[in-house]
Structure 1
Amino acid sequence: MTPPPPPVPDLTELPDAELLKLDHQVCFSLQAASRAFGGVYREALGDLGLTYPQYLAMMVLWEHGPLPVKTIGERLHLDSGTLSPLLKRLEAAGLVRRERSPEDERSVMVRLTDAGTELRERALPVPRSILRATGLSVQEILALQETLGRLTASLGRVV
């Protein structure tokens, strides 16, 4: 029989010097998990020729169709300085086309090309392979997403 896990300390009861330890930093845990995800995604996306940020942009377009750059940025929580070069690389790869909106010259629309649309079929196995790599159940993933959503919302109110 497996021994029970050690009790989780109540961090609010710890002295400030103890709270300063790396192992008590939620941001460090998130960063370590993010780096681990990066490696898994690098391998999963290698055959698609996409980076993780490019994959996210393609997922938004696969899900919603043509969108203004501004909407893609809002959906991905990216500013235009980060998003524009990413979209430029996707365009150079022949996966998307950027064009000024005829209704509003200030707005740039992003559309999938035929190659970008076809890439979706090759990307279908990626989410399931990532899910398997986590070692978590679907219920655990959903609970984690809900917790991270609340964390993001709370931190967004602070900044």
Structure 2
Amino acid sequence: MEKNESIDHQLRATWQAVAKMYNEQAAHHNSTMATAFVLLNIDKTKGTPSTALGPLMGMEPTSLSRILKTMEEKGAICREKNPEDGRSVIIKLTDYGREMRKISRGHVIQFNETVRNQVSKEDLIGFFNVTHTINKLIADREIYDEISNKAV
């Protein structure tokens, strides 16, 4: 199979291009795409429990901890004890964090609008159907037999 015909190659190459584009935009604001992603996943009014952020974003706890530490040092977030559970922490946006969230959201909206203006509605529906199917096949473990690690 040629590289250009490989579904996983196309997904990876496209995501790498998108990530590079977002990181270039984030760099103009002394930030990263990962930080922007976290900002967009924190509830802008109530905050979000730190234990909910990782699963919400599909991020490992150690990676998330490093990002949150950096965000706190830059003044984008603050940590408050969870009033419902004193053992956990709520991550809240500061005024600076809300401003950075607004900028991040603007970049995401601009990207989506630009793509939607260049791609037909039918093609977008097809794209979402394909990605949904891929995610379902992976979640249902229908690609590889876990015991033998061979294709099903």
| TM-score over 0.5 for the pair | yes
* Structure 2, gaps ≥5 residues long: 147-152
Root-mean-square deviation over aligned CA pairs? 2.6
State the partner residue of 1:137. Answer: 119
State the partner residue of 2:139. Answer: 156
Equivalent-residue separation in structure 1 for 2:31 and 2:43 (angstroms): 14
Residues 109, 37 of structure 1: CA spacing in aligned structure 2 closer, same or farther, 3 A cutoff? Answer: same
Q: Number of residue pairs matched?
A: 140
Q: What percentage of aligned pairs have identical amino acids?
A: 20
User: What's the CA shift string for 1:66-117, capped at 9, x where partnerless?
Assistant: 1111211121111212211111111111001123323323322100011111
Residues 124, 56 of structure 1: CA spacing in aligned structure 2 closer, same or farther, 3 A cutoff? Answer: closer
State the AA in 2 paired with 1:152: N
Are 2:73 and 1:119 equivalent residues in the alignment? Answer: no
Q: Compute the TM-score of the two structures, normalised by the length of structure 1.
A: 0.72
Q: Compute the TM-score of the two structures, normalised by the length of structure 2.
A: 0.75
Are 2:83 and 1:102 equivalent residues in the alignment? Answer: yes
* Structure 1, gaps ≥5 residues long: 1-18
Residues 66, 35 of structure 1: CA spacing in aligned structure 2 closer, same or farther, 3 A cutoff? Answer: same
Deviates more, 1:126-135 or 1:95-104: 126-135
Residues 152, 64 of structure 1: CA spacing in aligned structure 2 closer, same or farther, 3 A cutoff? Answer: farther
Equivalent-residue separation in structure 1 for 2:44 and 2:126 (angstroms): 23
SS at match of 1:105: strand
